[in-house]
Amino acid sequence: MKKTIRDYDLNNKKVIIRVDFNVPIKNGQITDDNRIKESLETIKYAIEKNAKVILLSHLGRIKTEEDKASKTLAPVATRLSELLEKDVLFIPYTRGEEVEKTIGNMQNGDVILLENTRFEDLDGKKESSNDEALGKYWASLGDIYINDAFGTSHRSHASNVGIASKLPNGIGFLIEKELKYLTPAMEDPEKPFTVILGGSKVSDKIGVIKHLVHKADFILIGGGMAYTFLKAKGYEIGSSLLDEENLQFCNEILASYCDKIILPVDSVCTLYLESNEGLIEPIEHIGPDQIGVDIGPATTHLFNKYIELSKTIIWNGPVGVFEQPPFGKGTKKICELLKNNKNTTILGGGDTASAAINFGFKDSFSHISTGGGASLEMLEGKELPGISIITDSTN
Ligand code: AMP
């Protein structure tokens, strides 16, 4: 258990909250404000407790001076102000006199947002390499540090690890919720425990498979990565995705855990990815020109046998090219099957989460993890530095 924002008296304190405002912005317009909404509970709590709220976030990557124009947090401040129904002062700097003066003049309950922390990356990657002096400087601006940016917790940055190592600290409500669901599922999952994996590359999921194959009762594999496993089993996969380098890994896993690894028995196939038409083929009938783009109905039926009996299910990676409606049926069906399971169901990964939300299943699971890379690293059993650095609770 980590200290949380509730463990501190925030009254009259300058509270630095690291939030995840890494939202998609097109032509200055925010196209998805979910991440801003998810940070509201912590920000509102700090306001109610009379804190002076200083918000830090990154937005995208900053590699050149030109990147700054499209990666400013200014539109986020405007949207946050609308959502909070109160003024949010945006400071277009990450450090300096204006930052210090403005913070010095803050009243209790005020909210300010500094410019994108990664603007500091132009000068020797100071934010992303956790530059000691930068972390110390940002820490000097506040009294208490709260990390609520789960999505960057797998990285050691100046705006998380750097500041947290210098100030009394805790986690916010968003990270608390992530840990509430992910920690027990990883440490002591109620059994049967099933993991559903999809997405494009085997290489991205090797760490997860290696870590969870011992803990899980079943690993159901769909998506592009399934075809490398099928190839390893000796099937013709036509022009489907093949991760040749990891064929050997698939072979070894299948040899050691053949009862646990459940592979598709049919596939939606097409002749070219841009097509709107797919044919359902039994796996043994995939032709040399065909590309497998989704799991078929016999596979969802098979997967459901495991889903129905499971007490804990973690799903990471869409099981088809869900961005194209004809090839999104498998992913949608998995959403429906998980919705019917009233036990613990957890979704992780940016693509899986956005697919499920876009298909209308936002509230159908126990938990949808907000962090793509961070939740994947948790599934790999790794410690997240942005959370490890937070003081343990003694309660
Ligand atoms: P990842 O980022 O590894 O989680 O992969 C997500 C991507 O995998 C999505 O963009 C899907 O379109 C893609 N994907 C899922 N199934 C397939 C498939 N059968 N062939 C190619 N790409 C796929």
Active site residue 35: yes
Question: How much is the average pLDDT of 238-251?
Answer: 97
Atom of ligand 1 nearest to the CA of 293: 19
Give all strands (DSSP E) within the chain, no chain letters.
14-18, 25-26, 29-30, 52-56, 89-91, 111-114, 144-147, 169-171, 193-197, 218-221, 261-262, 266-270, 279-282, 291-295, 312-316, 344-348, 367-368
Share of the chain above pLDDT 90, in %: 92
Among candidate residues 60, 109, 207, 373, the one labeled active-site is 373
At residue 394, does pLDDT exceed 90? no
Mutate to test the pocket of ligand 1, among 321, 323, 352, 377 (most ligand atoms within 8 A of CB): 321
Give the residue with greater pLDDT, 123 vs 108: 108
CA 106 – ligand 1 centroid, Å: 47
CB 228 within 8 A of CB 247: yes
Phi, psi angles (nearest 5°) of residue 323: -65, -25
Mutate to test the pocket of ligand 1, among 200, 279, 377, 379 (most ligand atoms within 8 A of CB): 200
Angle of helix 372-379 relative to helix 350-358, nearest 10 degrees, comes to 120
Atom of ligand 1 nearest to the CA of 317: 4
Residue 276: predicted pLDDT = 85
CB 237 within 8 A of CB 227: yes
Among candidate residues 201, 215, 233, 311, the one labeled active-site is 201
Residue 157: predicted pLDDT = 98
Residue 349: predicted pLDDT = 80
CA 275 – ligand 1 centroid, Å: 16
Residue 257: predicted pLDDT = 96
Phi, psi angles (nearest 5°) of residue 251: -55, -50
CA 199 – ligand 1 centroid, Å: 4
* CB contact set of 339 (below 8 Å; sequence gap of 6+): 345, 361, 364, 365
At residue 395, does pLDDT exceed 80? no
Active site residue 18: no
Share of the chain above pLDDT 70, in %: 100
31-35, 84-88, 289-293, 298-302: range with lowest mean pLDDT:
31-35
* Fold adopted by 189-379: Rossmann fold (3.40.50)
Assign 255 a pLDDT band (cuts: 50, 70, 90).
very high
> Whose C-alpha lies nearest to ligand 1, atom 2?
199
> Whose C-alpha lies nearest to ligand 1, atom 4?
199
pLDDT 10s digits, 278-298: 999 999 999 999 999 999 999
Domain positions in the chain: 5-176, 189-379
Atom of ligand 1 nearest to the CA of 352: 4
Assign 154 a pLDDT band (cuts: 50, 70, 90).
very high
Torsion of CA 72, 78, 84, 85, to 10 degrees: 170
Active site residue 350: yes
- CA–CA separation, 351 vs 182, rounded Å? 18
Among candidate residues 35, 95, 205, 329, the one labeled active-site is 35
SS3 70: helix
* Fold adopted by 5-176: Rossmann fold (3.40.50)
Active site residue 333: no
Amino acid making up residue 307? I
At residue 191, does pLDDT exceed 80? yes
Question: How much is the average pLDDT of 93-122?
Answer: 98
CA 292 – ligand 1 centroid, Å: 11
Residue 371: predicted pLDDT = 85
Residues in a beta bridge with 262: 220
Q: Do domains 5-176 and 189-379 have the same CATH topology?
A: yes
At residue 372, does pLDDT exceed 90? no
Amino acid making up residue 180? K
63-67, 114-118, 234-238, 345-349: range with lowest mean pLDDT:
345-349
Question: How much is the average pLDDT of 12-20?
Answer: 98
- CA–CA separation, 97 vs 115, rounded Å? 14
List ligand 1's pocket residues with C-beta within 6 A: 198-201, 204, 223-224, 241, 292-293, 317-318, 320-323, 349, 351
Q: How many residues does the chain have?
A: 395
> Whose C-alpha lies nearest to ligand 1, atom 18?
224
Pairing of strands 279-282, 266-270: antiparallel
Other C-beta atoms within 10 Å of 214: how many?
A: 9
SS3 239: coil
Atom of ligand 1 nearest to the CA of 322: 12
The CA-based diameter of the chain, rounded to the nearest angstrom, is: 71
